[in-house]
Amino acid sequence: MADRIHFNNAGSSLPPRPVVAAVVNYLEQEALQGGYELREARSADIADVYNRIASFIGASSPQEIALSENATRAWDLVFYGLNFKPGDIILTCEAEYGSNAIAYLHHGKAHGAEIRVIPNDATGQIDLEILERELTDPRVRLVSINHVPTQGGLVNPAEEVGTLANQAEVLYLLDACQSIGQLPIDVDTIGCDVLTATGRKFLRGPRGTGFLYVRESAIEQCNPAFLENGSAIWDSPWNYSLKPGAQRYESWEKSYGLLVGLGEAVRYASNVGIDNIWARVSLLAGDLRDSLESIPGVSISDQGQQRCGIVTFQVIGHDHQKLREALHEHSINVSVSRSTSSQWDLPARGFKSVMRASIHYYNTETEVDTFTDVLSTLLKEA
């Protein structure tokens, strides 16, 4: 961090040293003992990963947790197992992420499901009144939204959505990919039936890790998209049985070194304290928005009543990708979110892309000042 400002935590955060050490230590042991043998020897540590995640998100049991190689795969495993039929309705939001939207469209073409995008309210978050009205249609099969979109600082009102979905007795799938690790998440408070998350973003875990939560009462509604040795047991020549709980969504082959690192990332975040993390992220993001708004030609693109550590902005008259590259040359990491990831959102607002600076609790006020100074200088030189 000493020679580079990392404001791309919504892409992939910097893992703390204990996380790196946990992964390296496991791989070194694996090289000496053998993969199968070490898996058996470290079974208690691996089981503890489920326990830590369950505690971190308020799940009632580690049986409600499945481990995955990424959040998208975890999301797909549930969504593609829902077996939609013609006329079924999927409700989602304008700020939905590209991978999820593609899956909706794919299912719509393949099975005749109808996708209804709930418009934003005046603040830019999902309109709860329209959602409530749409939920009166008995054909609604699923409410599926993201908690925090990849292309903006908006925090969708996940708890209020959960209340409406539960009242209508409709399955509720929440993509928490960008919210896990930066703001408090309690699945009972939110009321989601399914939640998916990644390790590499604000949780500060290794790349190639993610997890899935499926509420025990919803497990029978969610058939796995496919089965193999990790998700089912071949218990007689012509029969199999699903593994209990959410582990029916798992693959047999895993990178246990990375998963041990994920468990360490959850432990680390728990020790820092998610309320402390959220307070620090909110403070720094607010400072960053204020600083950016003072630069001529820069306008904040974030929406919503509540905003988070993802700060998006427009720079009038400049190519965002070239600006990102120029910032990188000054040892500053930011990202660009494009309309190809958010076709229901950015084009409707007249944007082809937005600059994205995503901060975390380990960033500093000095880094915020340096970033805005460098950006201002680049714009003046241009």
Per-domain boundaries in the chain: 5-14+273-381, 17-272
User: pLDDT digits over 140-179, tens only?
Assistant: 999 999 999 999 999 999 999 999 999 999 999 999 999 9
Contact 265, 205 (CB under 8 A): yes
Q: If pLDDT is split at 50, 70 and 90, which confidence band does 139 have?
A: very high
Q: Decide: pTM greater than 0.85.
A: yes
Contact 68, 211 (CB under 8 A): yes
What is the per-residue pLDDT for 50?
A: 98
Helix, strand, or coil (residue 89): strand
Output the CA–CA distances (angstroms, integers) from residue 274 to 184, 186, 363, in the order listed: 6, 11, 16
Contact 308, 281 (CB under 8 A): yes
Rounded to whole angstroms, the Cα distance separating 94 from 83 reads: 24
Q: If pLDDT is split at 50, 70 and 90, which confidence band does 328 have?
A: very high
Task: Choose among 77, 104, 52: nearest CA to 274.
Answer: 52
Contact 31, 257 (CB under 8 A): no
Task: Choose among 126, 273, 255, 149: nearest CA to 201.
Answer: 149
Rg of the chain over Cα atoms, rounded to whole angstroms, equals 21
Q: Classify domain 5-14+273-381 at the CATH topology level.
A: Aspartate Aminotransferase, domain 1 (3.90.1150)
First CA to last CA across the chain, in angstroms?
A: 28
Q: Is the predicted pLDDT of residue 310 greater than 90, yes or no?
A: yes
Q: What is the mean pLDDT of the chain?
A: 96
Rounded to whole angstroms, the Cα distance separating 174 from 196 reads: 7
Token pair in block for residue 350: 């007249």
Hey, what CATH class is 17-272 in? alpha beta
In this structure, which amino acid lies at residue 362? Y
Q: Is the predicted pLDDT of residue 2 greater than 70, yes or no?
A: no
Rounded to whole angstroms, the Cα distance separating 335 from 166 reads: 36
What is the per-residue pLDDT for 345?
A: 95
Token pair in block for residue 259: 């998963």
Task: Choose among 67, 81, 38, 368: nearest CA to 224.
Answer: 81
